Structure 1
Amino acid sequence: MLHFSETCGREDIKDQIKSVASADPVHRKLFVRGLSRNTTSETLCDAFRVHGEIEEGAVIYDKATLRSRGYGFITYKHIESTQLALKAPSKLIDGRMAVCNLACEGLTGSSTTPDLPQRKVYIGGLSPEVTSEMLLNFFGRHGEIEEGSVAYDKDTNESRGFGFITFKTVEAAKKAIDDPQKSLGGRTVIAKLADSHKGRTAQTQLPSSMVPMALPMGPGYPHPGKAHPSTAPGGYVYPQMVAPYPDSSYSSPPAAPAPYQTQPQFPYPSASSMKDSFGPPPTTHMGMGGYPYYMAKQ
């Protein structure tokens, strides 16, 4: 049985531990992710003020675009408030399910548990009118949701036609996938494990006749501007096979074939030698084949 003095002593130690822990903001600072692009620092603080007094809170913005980066930080004045917030880490803020954990843990909170691949579901085929809040309400019937939202384009802030939901249990995720009734926003949506969707890489298939194929270049393969080796490179055989002349058949290299026979060329008399007593030499004309013929002048 503890005496009053001993009980008071333990309470004092407990208070001292709390005081030391509270003095270090690392134990009071939360990292909040999954925020809507429209969430401001004020709306973020309003969502977490239910757990206690906030010392500091802010959404982080991109310096270049001045747009929200989808996460922020909350620092409570007392460590008890932080512990209460961690007991309910998921909060619906501006239509998106945000999740928090201790900032010192980074992304090593509940969202990276070993069973996460079995709890995170990809939702495809969404209508542009479906909001994150509609998505969460529709799939929330299968179980408690830890995190989820529609994927929006960063530039236009329009729906990209798909989203993700992380359930708190594997059983809830399985129910969402197996449920045959998946009509949302006038469309039948697709639900499957996010990892199975992520593993599929879209590749453009080309006909085999159109696929460029690079031939492997063996060592010593001849290149333009370089002397060709006397032998084929390793792994290659030239297709033309030329049979060598048998040495026993020729005592000397075979003679070159005789030139084609041509018709004899007949000389024609010069114009000066054809002068006669009747007058000037005959007129020269060119006949077929380029041969000249002569016609005496009458």
Structure 2
Amino acid sequence: MEDVKKRKMEDDNILINGQDFNSSSSSSQDHLRSLLDPLSKSQLVDLLSRLGSQYPSIAEEIKSVASADPVHRKLFVRGLAWNTTSETLCAAFRVHGEIEEGAVIYDKATGKSRGYGFITYKHMESTQSALRAPSKLIDGRLAVCNLACEGLSGVSAVPDLAQRKLYIGGLSPEVTTEVLLNFFGRHGEIEEGSVAYDKDTNESRGFGFVTYKTVEAAKKAVDDPHKTLGGRTIIVKLADTHKGKPPQTQLPAAVVPVPLPLGAGYPQAGKAHANTPPVGYSYPQNVPPYPTSSYTSPNTAPVPYPTQPPISYPPIPLKKDPIGPIGHPATAPVGMGGYPFYKH
């Protein structure tokens, strides 16, 4: 009897920072609160985990409090097939323990599945068991789960996800998710993967995604030269390179046409000129004067070069031959190089 009382007294007396606090004391709880209040979350977690490992009663209390909060028992399941029901979802996750609540989320307007759902276990241990095997093949698609409190942010927060997720294009309609996973499973363990299906027809859209657990496995799949599946040559590349549209090509700045200011006398597009006939329709044309320099201020009319009177040259008479040219007596035959013909 004395041993039982002694063991109970040892459990009730907890050593914190070198001090013993008796749980039966009325002021001990307030005193402990005053000591714990300024501590940070990380310090409290370290303290409770250390005490829980030393005292089984504290460990049981921690588990009881944590299990009472649904945040540790609720899973977010994504990647569901459009025809997956709540009953099918619960049946797939019931292998890990008793389910308190489970449902597929449907769109209110269309009444169709939104491709994800939630599972809430009755015990926290069941949730941990499900998280150790997060990928499940349900209705031909590989569904993945994580804690609901993390949501999609827990997935996107993985630093190397962009190097592990692949886009698979050019799939034939006969390729199912199971075929896709079996084909790419030769390169390494797959964390998530599925063929993309149309919501209305539930038919393959000709592409899918595969996420490996390691970057090395994803690199092997990309570098593999044998990319034939279902009788077609498929496309395998990192998924993040497929998200953005190809950039539009632009002209370099050096060859982009830039409108320059025109001097007086130059016809400008879009403006009618009463005194200037349309270029290419009448002759002669009024040729505008040249500017005096390579630069002309848009506000200053160009100064023309000084003009000179035209120079006229007298006609050169042809010398008469004793025999006489063929044709007109004063001109040489045209087209013969200017040389006349002679009779012999």
Shared topology, TM-score over 0.5? Answer: yes
Separation of aligned partners in 1, 2:123 and 2:207: 39
C-alpha distance 237-53 of structure 1, shift in aligned 2 (>3 A)? farther
Query: CA 1:55–1:183 in 2, change beyond 3 Å: closer, same or farther?
Result: same
Q: CA deviation at 1:151?
A: 1.4
Unmatched runs of 5 consecutive residues or more in structure 2: 1-5, 13-53, 251-256, 260-295, 305-344
Match of 2:327 in 1: none
Q: Look up the match of 1:70.
A: 115
> Which of 73, 77, 87 is the aligned partner of 1:42?
87
1:127 matches 2:172: yes
Cα distance, 1:198 vs structure 2 = 1.9
Inter-CA distance 243–160: structure 2 relative to 1 (3 Å threshold):
same
1:139 corresponds to 2:184: yes
Deviations 1:203-256 (A, max 9, x none): 6x89xxxxxx998xxxxxxxxxxxxxxxxxxxx976995769xxxxxxxxxxxx
Q: Separation in 1 of the partners of 2:297 and 2:200?
A: 57
Higher RCO, Cα 8 Å, sep 6+: 1
Dislocated runs of 4+, deviation >3 Å: 3-9, 236-244
1:90 aligns to 2:135 (yes or no): yes
Q: Measure the CA separation in 2 of the matches of 1:112 and 1:194.
A: 16
The one of 98, 112, 121 aligned to 1:53: 98
Question: What's the TM-score, normalizing by structure 1?
Answer: 0.66
The corresponding residue for 1:169 is 214
Q: Distance in 2 between matches of 1:161 and 1:7?
A: 64
SS of 2:55 mapped into structure 1: helix
The answer to whether residue 160 in structure 2 is matched with residue 118 in structure 1 is no
Helix, strand or coil at the partner of 1:58: strand
Aligned to 1:99: 144
Q: Tell me by how many angstroms 1:4 deviates.
A: 6.5
Q: Structure 1 counterpart of 2:215, which letter?
A: V
Secondary structure of 1:161 counterpart: strand
Question: 1:34-65 CA deviation, whole Å, 9 max, x = no partner?
Answer: 11111111111111111100000000000111
Identity of aligned residues (%): 75
Mapped partners of 2:111, 2:300: distance in 1: 69
Matched, 1:30 2:105: no
Aligned positions of 1:250-289 closer than 5 A: none
Structure 1 unpaired stretches of 5+: 207-212, 216-235, 245-298
The TM-score with structure 2 as length reference comes to: 0.57
